[in-house]
Amino acid sequence: MRRGYSSSIAVLVWLVLVCSCFEPTRLQAQRAARTDPIEAAALNAILGRWGKQAKRSPAWNISGEPCSGAAVDGTGLDGNNDFNPGITCVCSFINNTVCHITMLKVYALNVVGQIPSELQNLTYLTYLNLDLNYLTGPIPSFIGQFSAMQHLSLGFNPFSGPLPKELGNLTNLNLLGISLDNFSSGLPEELGNLSKLEQLYIDSSGFSGPFPSTFSKLKKLRILRASDNDFTGKIPDYFGSLTDLEDMTDNHVIKLIRTTSGYIELAFLYSNGFGMKVKLVKITDVLNTMTRIVGDIVNGSSSLASIGNLTSLSTLILRNCKVSDNLGAVNISNLANLILLDLSFNNITGQVPRSILTLDKLEFLDFSYNQLTGSFPSWATESDLHLNLVANNFVLDSINDRTKLPSARHSLLPWFSTMYIFHSSSTLADCGSNRYMTGSDNTMYDVDPTDLGASSYYVTGETRWGVSNVGKFNQAPNGSNIIYSSNQQFQNVADSELFQTARMSASSLRYYGLGLENGNYTVVLQFAEIVYPDTQTWHSLGRRVFDIYVQGSLREKNFNIRKMAGGKSFTAVRKSYTAVVSKNFLEIHLFWAGKGTCCIPKQGHYGPMISALSVTPNFTPTVRNGVPKKKSKAGAIAGIVIGASVLGLAALFGISMLTKRRRRLARQQQELYDLIGQPDVFSYAELKLATDNFSPRNILGQGGYGPVYKGTLTDGRAIAVKQLAQSSHQGERQFVAEVATMSAVQHRNLVKLHGCCIDSNTHLLVYEYLENGSLDRALFGDSSLKLDWSARFEIILGIARGLTYLHEESSTRIVHRDIKASNVLLDTDLTPKVSDFGLAKLYDENKSHLILTFLIDHCSSGYLAPEYAMRGQLTEKADVFAFGVVALEAVSGRSNTDNSLEERNIYLLEWAWGLYEEKQPLRILDPMLEEFDTEEALRVIHVALICTQGSPHQRPLMSRVVAMLTGKAEVAEEVRKPSYVVTEWQQLRGENSSCTTSSYSGSTTLGFSRQREVDPLTQSPTITGASDEIEGR
């Protein structure tokens, strides 16, 4: 028994000894597992500089041990707002005795300052999230020392300076977020070293230049957000090999598929304002699983091919993508899941199919600003769609079509501007306000309270003005917040109340002056930014950027309210313009072209915004009900009355004479308005002032029809004025009719005819002015333009589309007669526009031999088809021949005749055919081209040679030419040299003559056939209607 007792005591003593030995070891381990002291000090310093600390809670207390509680228990940082600022630690170092900080989050706390140098002491970081703060200065280069970093998010901060190239050292990085910062350089080549990168967010960050070639190594990239930057060049072909790119939330991705031609089949990119050149050639069924496609790509050309195969699409936006295709090519009935379809601001042709009505889920449809034709779809009045069909070429079946639309459901239609006769002389509105506002100058502003939907309009009860809204905030689909209120006091303005409301739009906001008396007006637009606060918070980082048009003329490009206000919100900005009202109608258009931020301070905050507007006459109106009342000045009125009495008798005779003249001019103007097209009528005095009395220094070119002058109207618009020679004069009514018909012919690739002047014996035509002059100057002259291959291809394609419209699509069929490089003008975006079409109809047919002789003698013979040059036989195939010559000039960089070369190379056609027969067609290309698309170049050369066949029956229609250039139609592999010999008809011009290039349009002549097969300007008997004015975008 004692022995058993002794044994028990021995066991108990042993247990006590063991426990006493174990407890100190456990306690020692607990005390030893502490945060690296260098990192603890660094963390305290970082948060101290930023004025932040951990929330006082049992979870984590920075005053105690950092790596404890929530920092080590797996709580996690993402999505946990109670753990912010927050860290995560790993305590497995040195036998579980040392903890290192691996994750740091300081998210959306509006921290003000810079990235402290102490951050570089947190060397074990794998995760760093500093989004949504107000951190300034450059990102330090030591950021590249975090070799273990996998997630680096520094977006929504006003960082500046260049992006450090040391970021390329973070080879374990799988997410890099630097959106909505303010960098000032290109993307470093070193970013291509991030071979594990899956997500890259660089939108709205100020980057410029091309995408680095090293991005081809980012094989794992899934998401790329790159909108609202100033990237240049073409999207590199290597994006086609990044096969992991996929559709993700909010569609901020690129989906690119390589093609055999080296172009991209689909560039799916949330890239509003994306400056790169993109070609959307084909959208294939590979993307059938996508539920959304969003694109806003400029400087390219695109197709609608295979969209009908994407049966899972719910949202399709290809807005302002230069899509050029026929709507009939799309099987829209397959898109059963489609909710929103936006194909606006493109070059889409064809008719709107009724099959759209079979799409039960479709809510929003926008086909505005295209080239759609045919009868206006009758189903538009039967549907509950948010519908926008403005600015197309529809034909009205009956006058009743103008009155069928239900009120405030659809957007304004093409004929809206023709519905009102003049009855007022002013338009004033306090935008978004529900109360009348009287300004400090006693000006009364109308209320503007109607909350417009995604595609709707409102007209005042007196029909004095209207407003329309187009666009839907895709990030905030249920929001209708287009009217904002503010109780702030505004700076820099006497009428603060005028700015406490504003109207905003997701895309396109228009105000219309209806029934205005014709004349010159002052248009005042007033703005103030009331969404982004003037605080050092990330909410203040928003940028609102849009364009301003008045009467179709671009007045402000990339207009930024806060920038104009010196970087301040709640500060009034006043813009004043002069505008001419000639049809009792005025339009103010605020257009979002895709630039600026989209999601600050929350989703769906972007697009144009305006606080107030006024349109007042610069003349004494004859109507009273629209003029704002001012304080009366009895003395001034009495003086005027007395002066008028004294001078009245002396003026009677002059008034009598002037009245007769004005009646005659009014009758001519009314005749013009009664005709299709309704071009503007300018006075001779107005154009004389615009051209500085037709000064020789303003001459842009000289041709067979007379000189062309550059001018500037009083409203600031630049114009080109063609002064027709005396021999061109017709009867005034016939002249008016021809000009009206010509002005109705409108296409993206045709120079727009604004109007004419028929004062006295002078006939003047007023055209839009194209800043980059003529194609021949760009190719052969002293122009500073450098046309790369992409630009030349788009120019050739644009010329072909313009001619296709003239020959086959316009209700007025036109044979141009004088297609040549000097008759192709280039706008600021290098979009080609064919000029001088239809002018032959302004001349008598019995003078056709003189015009043809002029063509032969003045630099046009190299463009003349053989049958026209030798026999005067004219069809549209003569234009096809000339197009082929221009295409060869564009790709070769040389004119059709160059007497400085050796004899066998003088004539472009002979030289090109020689190289083609020698199996060396690519030698035709301009040696100045540093790079080009081989397949595309061969296609252009083959098409050009087909167009210059000797027989007109062997030349294709221009629509076929477009199809061949875009790859939609096959091009014959072998083309035979025509039987004609160039030298047989070049003698018509003379061996020693030479041509010079002009700065605008060197020759403005158009030939006239002696044996006419096709009337060059004939009105189709079965088509009537009005063509809409297409404004720049």
More confident call, 497 vs 241 = 497
Task: Classify residue 646 as exposed, middle or buried by CB count within 10 Å of its CB (0-12, 13-18, 19+).
Answer: exposed
Cβ contact 88:518 at 8 Å? no
Report the 10 Å Cβ neighbour count for 489.
Answer: 11
User: So what's the pLDDT on residue 91?
Assistant: 94
Between the CA of residue 352 and those of 343, 393, 397, what are the distances in Å?
12, 11, 15
For the segment 682-710, the average pLDDT, to the nearest whole number, is 86
pLDDT at 373 over 50: yes
Sequence-distant (6+) residues with CB within 8 A of 22 are none
Domains 131-279 and 773-1019 share a fold: no
| N-to-C CA span, the chain | 107
> Is the backbone peptide bond immediately before 608 cis, with ω within 30 degrees of 0?
no
Determine the topology of domain 420-617 in CATH: Jelly Rolls (2.60.120)
Give the 3-state secondary structure of residue 503. strand
Q: In degrees, to the nearest 5, what angle opens at C-alpha 1001 toward C-alphas 996 and 1007?
A: 90
Q: Are strands 151-153 and 127-129 parallel, antiparallel or unpaired?
A: parallel
Task: Mean pLDDT check: name the lowest of 37-41, 45-49, 841-845, 945-949.
Answer: 841-845
Distance (Å, whole) CA 752 – CA 746: 6
Give me the residues paired with residue 790 across strands: none
**690 DSSP assignment:** H
Distance (Å, whole) CA 608 – CA 590? 6
pLDDT digits (tens, 9 = 90+) for 592-641: 877 888 778 777 678 899 999 999 999 988 875 444 444 444 444 444 44
Q: What pLDDT, on the 0 to 100 scale, is given for residue 958?
A: 95
Cα 710–chain centre separation: 26
Q: Which fold has domain 131-279?
A: 3.80.10
* pLDDT category of residue 145 using cuts at 50, 70 and 90: very high
Identify the band that residue 497 occupies on the pLDDT scale cut at 50, 70 and 90.
Answer: confident
Question: What CATH number is given for 773-1019 in this structure?
Answer: 1.10.510.10
pLDDT higher than threshold 80 for residue 126 = yes
pLDDT at 475: 61
Contact criterion met (CB below 8 Å) for 539 and 132: no
C-alpha distances in angstroms, 510 versus 466, 471, 504, 737, 943?
A: 8, 12, 11, 31, 43
CA-CA-CA-CA torsion sign (863, 868, 869, 872): negative
- Per the model's pLDDT, the better-predicted residue between 140 and 405 turns out to be 140
Average pLDDT over residues 156-171: 96
What is the greatest pairwise CA distance in the chain? 152
658-667, 936-945, 1014-1023: range with lowest mean pLDDT: 1014-1023
Which of residues 183 and 757 earns the better pLDDT score? 183
Name the band, by pLDDT with cuts 50, 70 and 90, for residue 1007: very low
| Amino acid in the structure at residue 886 | V
Contact 55, 87 (CB under 8 A): no
DSSP code, position 559:
E
**b/e string for 105-139 if b means 16 or more Cβ within 10 A?**
bbbbbebeebbbebbbbbbbbbbbbbbbbbbbeeb
Mean pLDDT of 651-663: 54
Adjacency order of strands within the sheet including 483-485? 483-485, 501-504, 609-610
| Angle, alpha carbons 560-564-566 (nearest 5°) | 120
Q: Tokens for 880?
A: 């096809």
3-state class (DSSP) for residue 579: strand
Mean predicted confidence (pLDDT) in 517-524: 93
Phi and psi, residue 834, nearest 5°: -75, 130
Please tell me the number of Cα atoms within 13 Å of 896 on its side-chain side.
Answer: 28
Q: Look up tokens 């002052």; give the residue.
A: 522
Assess whether pLDDT exceeds 90 at residue 113.
yes
Rounded Cα distance between 542 and 204, Å, is 10
Average of per-residue pLDDT values in the chain: 76
Q: Could you tell me which residues come within 8 angstroms of residue 633 by beta carbon, excluding any fewer than 6 positions away?
A: none
pLDDT at 408 exceeding the cut of 50 = no
- DSSP 8-state secondary structure symbol assigned to residue 628: P
Amino acid in position 203: D
1002 token code pair: 């060197």
> What are φ and ψ of residue 609, in 5° steps?
-145, 140
Question: Comparing C-alpha atoms, which of 373, 319, 371, 327 is closest to residue 353?
Answer: 327
Q: Among residues 36, 325, 818, 1028, which one is catalytic?
A: 818
Is 818 among the catalytic positions? yes
Express each pLDDT in 283-338 by its tens digit: 443 344 444 445 555 445 556 766 777 777 787 877 777 788 888 878 888 888 88
- CA dihedral defined by 959, 961, 962, 964, rounded to 10 degrees? 130
Q: Which token pair is 251?
A: 């569609």
Helix/strand/coil for 30:
helix
Identify the weakest region by mean pLDDT among 239-253, 347-361, 874-888, 935-949.
239-253
pLDDT of residue 1008 exceeding 70: no
Q: Which residues contact 382 (CB under 8 A, 6 or more apart)?
A: 357
Strand partners for 364: 340, 386
Q: Pick the range with the lowest mean pLDDT from 254-263, 420-429, 534-543.
A: 254-263
Of 223, 244, 243, 226, the C-alpha closest to 235 is 226
DSSP calls for 747-790:
-TTB--EEEEE-STT--EEEEE--TT-BHHHHHHSS------HH
Pick the most confident of 120-124, 488-492, 534-538: 120-124
Structural domain boundaries in the chain: 25-99, 131-279, 303-412, 420-617, 773-1019
Range of 124-128, 206-210, 265-269, 590-594 with top mean pLDDT:
124-128
Per the model's pLDDT, the better-predicted residue between 1005 and 283 turns out to be 283
The answer, yes or no, to whether residue 973 has pLDDT greater than 80, is: no
CA distances from 433 to 484, 589, 692, 829, 959 (A): 9, 19, 44, 38, 51
Q: Nearest 5°: phi and psi at 107?
A: -115, 125
pLDDT: which is higher, 386 or 204:
204
Q: What's the pLDDT band for 1018 if we cut at 50, 70, 90?
A: very low
The pLDDT value recorded for residue 54 is 64
pLDDT of residue 260: 30
- Identify the residue with better confidence: 1021 or 222: 222
Give the pLDDT confidence of 430-467 residue by residue, as tens digits: 998 888 888 878 888 998 887 776 667 778 766 788 88
Helix axes 789-804, 876-892, angle to 10 degrees: 170
Residue 6's alpha-carbon distances to 9, 18, 20, 370, in angstroms, are 5, 18, 21, 105
Residue 604: Cβ within 10 Å count = 19
- Higher-confidence residue: 878 or 715? 878
R_g over Cα of the chain: 35
Tens digits of residue pLDDT in 765-792: 999 999 899 999 999 887 778 899 999 9
CA dist list (Å): 350 to 592, 599, 885: 26, 36, 29
What is this structure's pTM? 0.59
Question: DSSP character for 59?
Answer: T
- 3-state class percentages of the chain: helix first, strand second, coil last, to nearest 5: 30, 20, 50
Q: In 3-state terms, what secondary structure has residue 380?
A: helix
- Give the pLDDT score at 10: 52
Three state DSSP letters for 884-898 = HHHHHHHHHCCCCEC
Greater pLDDT, 391 or 837: 837
Domain 303-412 maps to which CATH number in 3.30.1280.10, 3.80.10.10, 3.90.79.10, 3.30.70.20? Answer: 3.80.10.10
- Coil/strand/helix, residue 402: helix
Contacts of 475 (CB under 8 A, 6+ apart): 250, 598, 599, 603, 604
pLDDT at 993 over 70: no
How many CB atoms within 10 Å of residue 102? 20
As a residue count, the chain comes to 1033
pLDDT of residue 834: 95
Q: Which of 205-219, 395-409, 486-500, 833-847 has the weakest average pLDDT?
A: 395-409
